[in-house]
Structure 1
Amino acid sequence: MSAPGKTPGLRSADVHAAGLTGRILWAEGTPSPEPGAETRNEPAYILIHGIGVSHRYMARLHAVLAASAPTYSLDLPGFGGTPKPGHQLSVEEYGAFIAEALTSCGIDSYVLVGHSMGAQFAIEAALHAPEQIRQLVLMGPVVDSRHKNVGRQSLALLLDGLLRESPSSNWIVTSDYFRCGPRWYLAELRAMMAYRTEERLAGIGVPVLVLRGSRDQVAGPEWSLRLSRTVAQGRLVEIPGVGHVAQHMRPKAVADAIRSFVTATTPHR
């Protein structure tokens, strides 16, 4: 149950839904995902990567969250060495895949945590399965209204990598981009740029945390604040001193922010 490029310490299995194949990963101590698994009282954390990359740049956050709650990461179809679909997928199709894949794995109550384009995927998964989602976390969500063309978006990402990220995070991201390949990256870049994040987020009925690094100019402060105010139960948290890949640079601070938000917004029975 191992896969090329998989993070040491994580188990993995292929997952199939909607005619597509991805991968789900979990750590020792987290129940294995399987159909008919016993329903758990505690919702699971589901970590969703962004464009071109894989679970690997979420691995540090995964480890911290998994120490106290069931946590699963996904490698979505076409990314992280999973099979490339035969056609460009819309953000909506990725959202449906996530929701249906989790159901097929017996995971029926969860907190979705998406980073960058993964925030778009998470929104669509929440809209596809509103009964299963408990809270939604959008880390460094795209596309900031200041970067509404490919040139500006690409420049913001390039400057973030050069000026605000660590060599280890840059290595993970760059090597995953090579595995993804330019054709699939560019196909999904078009889907990312066309997605109406604010409009789709407005249909979410669960609590939403927008989380950004304080130095992140991919998801800037005005844009992030506006998103947090799009929903009735929205909140914005900034992680000091880091850029777009805050979950790799400051995993404990990010995990603490997520867990505090989930605790504060979970109804007491």
Structure 2
Amino acid sequence: MRALVETVQVDGHPVRLRTMAPAGRVRDSFAPTVVLVHGIGMSHRSFHRVQTALSRTHRTVSVDLPGFGGLPSGRRRFEELEYADLVVRAVTARGAEDVVVLGQSMGTQIAVEAALRHPDVVSSVVLVGPVVDDRRRSLVRLAAGLGVDVLLEGARMNAIVLSDYLRSMPQYLRELRPMRNFRMTDGVRALTVPVLVIRGAQDPVAKHDWAVRLAATAARGALVELPGPHHVQEHQPVAVARLVDEFRRVQTLESARDGVAL
């Protein structure tokens, strides 16, 4: 399955979109479009396996944010709300109208902001390995968790992490404090759209108690844990894709039921 790769300029900032869809029909109208937003230091490559699995049934768009994946940042820091606006404006410029935003790690913060700021576009969010735990907010703890995670990830994922981190290090350093300071619980509490939290059972960054509390905070939240570390989408791509598909089917049934009730 070949991807359509294009870079969209939004207010002078580049956002790279890697679009895949069933039978390669990347320009057709599929609802919803699943948008994949990477974590700090990373790129679309962290979603290769799960995007391939999801693209059998959905149009999918994996994103490279400014400053990551080899894209320039203009040597500036972006707040999560700015990244969220860039992502939504880029994908809607390419025809997406009904969007599920799946974020991983720092990408979960961007997913939450996208839903808060663009409720007319974002119909639900999927948070994979969400950060930052409000009881473990220090940069030292975050670094320690990532260090342990290296021991749990496979050789392929570690190679992606290392190479992506090396080419995005300036932006990585700029974004550490905004990521650390983001009030994830407050954001999720304010959401009106459904929220699915997915956690790797061995994830040393997004721990079990944090994932439970975060899912419970959402007005319409659910938590699923799968075997694997922080990049559980790498280790369980088919399971994650099935969860997203089931999540959407349940939403569709609920919407239809509500429509009948009205």
TM-based fold match above 0.5: yes
For 2:211, give the aligned amino acid.
S
Asked if the contact 1:45–1:69 (Cα under 8 Å) also holds between the matched residues in 2, the reply is yes
Match of 1:244 in 2: 230
Match of 1:11 among 1, 4, 10: 4
Shift of residue 169 of structure 1? 0.5
Asked if residue 167 in structure 1 is aligned to residue 155 in structure 2, the reply is yes
Please tell me whether the aligned partners of residues 109 and 130 of structure 2 are also in contact (alpha carbons under 8 angstroms).
Answer: yes
In 1, Cα distance between equivalents of 2:40 and 2:11: 20
Distance 1:260 1:142 in 2: 24
Distance 2:116 2:9 in 1: 20
Displacement of 1:122 in angstroms is 0.7
Report how far residue 31 of structure 1 moved. Answer: 4.2
Q: Which residue of 2 aligns with 1:5?
A: none
Question: 1:233 Cα shift?
Answer: 0.7
One-letter amino acid of the counterpart of residue 209, structure 1: L
User: Which residue of 245, 254, 259 corresponds with 1:259?
Assistant: 245
Match of 2:194 among 207, 230, 235: 207
User: Contact (CA 8 Å) 1:22, 1:83: kept in 2 or not?
Assistant: no
* Identity rate, percent: 38
Aligned partners of 1:20 and 1:77 also within 8 Å: yes
Q: Which residue of 1 aligns with 2:213?
A: 226
Counterpart residue type for residue 136 of structure 2: H
> What is the deviation of 1:19?
2.8
Out of 141, 158, 167, which is 1:152 matched to?
A: 141
Paired residue type of 2:250: A
Retained in 2: the 8 A contact 1:30–1:71?
no
Residue 32 of structure 1 and its aligned partner are, at CA, apart by: 4.0
Out of 78-87 and 166-175, give the one that drifted further: 78-87
Aligned match of 1:21: 14
Residues 153 and 231 of structure 2 are in contact (CA less than 8 Å); yes or no, is this contact kept in structure 1? Answer: yes
User: Structure 1 unaligned runs (5+)?
Assistant: 1-7
CA contact 2:26–2:59 (8 Å) conserved in 1: no
Would you say 1:72 and 2:61 are equivalent positions? yes
Residue aligning to 1:91: 80
Q: Provide the rounded CA distance (Å) in 1 between the counterparts of 2:190 and 2:54.
A: 27
Alignment of 1:42-81 (within 5 A): 42-81=31-70
Taking structure 2 as the reference length, what is the TM-score of the superposition? 0.92
When residues 86 and 31 of structure 1 are mapped into structure 2, their CA distance, relative to the original with a 3 A threshold, is: farther
Q: 1:60, CA displacement in angstroms? A: 0.3
User: Structure 2: how far apart are the matches of 1:236 and 1:45?
Assistant: 19
| Partner-residue secondary structure (3-state), 2:126 | strand
How many angstroms apart in 1 are the aligned matches of 2:4 and 2:31?
Answer: 21
How far apart, in 2, do the equivalents of 1:230 and 1:86 lie?
35
Are residues 108 and 187 of structure 1, via their aligned partners in 2, closer, same or farther at CA, if it must alter by over 3 Å?
Answer: same
Q: Secondary structure at the match of 1:217?
A: coil
Distance 2:26 2:117 in 1: 24
**Any idea what SS the aligned residue of 1:22 has?**
strand
TM-score (norm 1): 0.90
- Tell me, yes or no, if structure 1 residue 139 matches structure 2 residue 128: yes
Alignment CA distance shift 1:30-1:225 (3 Å):
farther
Residue 86 (structure 1) shift: 3.5
Q: What CA deviation, in whole Å up to 9, does each residue of 1:173-207 have, x standing for no partner? A: 111001112x2111101110011111112121111
Distance 2:15 2:211 in 1: 29
Q: Give, in whole Å, the separation in 2 of the partners of 1:154 and 1:202.
A: 27
Gaps in structure 2 of 5+ consecutive residues: none
Please, which of 183, 204, 213 is the counterpart of residue 217 of structure 1? 204
Query: Is the partner of 1:114 in helix, strand or coil?
Result: strand
